[in-house]
Amino acid sequence: MPQQAWSKKRERQYDHIKEGLLDSGRGEDTAEEIAARTVNKERARAGEAKAASRTSTQDISSGRRGGLRSHRGPGGRTKAQLYSEAKRKGVKGRSKMTKAELERAVGR
């Protein structure tokens, strides 16, 4: 565990997030970092941390934010996600495209 100050609940949360990331193909180091950052943000939102940034306490929760950006919902994929897919597919002129143009270019 990265920190000893975490409660049992936060340790379980860390393990759950890390396992999910490993299952989805992320590397060990990346999974640990993302899990630790997510748990620390949730601790800050719940008032369990000594210090917290404004974005940690005022932004929408990590679970909700991930759900909003998971290829569903009203916004769909972010422009960066669309750009990455266009790059993989070799779409010409992608750097000058808007989000709507990228959506049409990559299909869907």
Residues of the chain with pLDDT under 70: 1-4, 54-59, 62-63, 65-75, 108
CA distance 57 to 34: 18
Helix ranges restricted to H, 2-98: 8-23, 28-45, 54-58, 62-68, 79-89
pTM: 0.51
CA distance 71 to 64: 13
Q: So what's the pLDDT on residue 3? A: 47
CA distance 32 to 19: 9
Q: So what's the pLDDT on residue 74? A: 57
